[in-house]
Amino acid sequence: RNIILNNPRKRNALSLAMLQSLREDLLHDVKNKDLRVIVISAEGPVFCSGHDLKELSSEDDVKHHSQVFEICAEVMTLIQKLPVPVIAKVNGLATAAGCQLVASCDIAVASEKSQFATPGVNIGLFCSTPAVALGRSLPRKVALEMLFTGEPLSAQEALMHGLVSKVVPEDKLEEETMKISHKICESSKSILALGKATFYRQMTQDLDTAYKMTTQVMADNLTLRDGQEGIEAFIQKRKPIWSH
What is the predicted pLDDT for the residue at 60?
66
What is the predicted pLDDT for the residue at 7?
94
Closest CA to 158 of 137, 183, 181, 188: 137
Element housing 36 (H / E): none
What is the predicted pLDDT for the residue at 220?
97
For each successive 10 residues of the chain (244 residues), what is the average pLDDT? 95 96 95 94 97 82 89 97 98 98 98 98 96 97 98 98 98 98 96 97 97 98 96 97 88
In the chain the domains, ranked by start, together with CATH numbers, are 2-185 (3.90.226.10), 188-236 (1.10.12.10)
Please check whether residue 153 is in contact with residue 146, taking contact to mean a CB–CB distance below 8 angstroms. Answer: yes
SS3 state of residue 162: coil
Query: Cα-Cα-Cα-Cα dihedral of 88, 172, 161, 108, to 10°?
Result: 10
Tell me the whole-structure pTM to 2 decimals: 0.95
Element housing 138 (H / E): none
Other CB atoms within 10 A of residue 33 CB: 9
User: Angle at the Cα of 214 (from 213 to 216), degrees rounded to 5?
Assistant: 70
What is the predicted pLDDT for the residue at 128?
97
Please check whether residue 170 is in contact with residue 112, taking contact to mean a CB–CB distance below 8 angstroms. Answer: yes
Angle between the 140-149 and 128-137 helix axes, to the nearest 10 degrees? 150
Cα end-to-end span (Å), the chain: 17
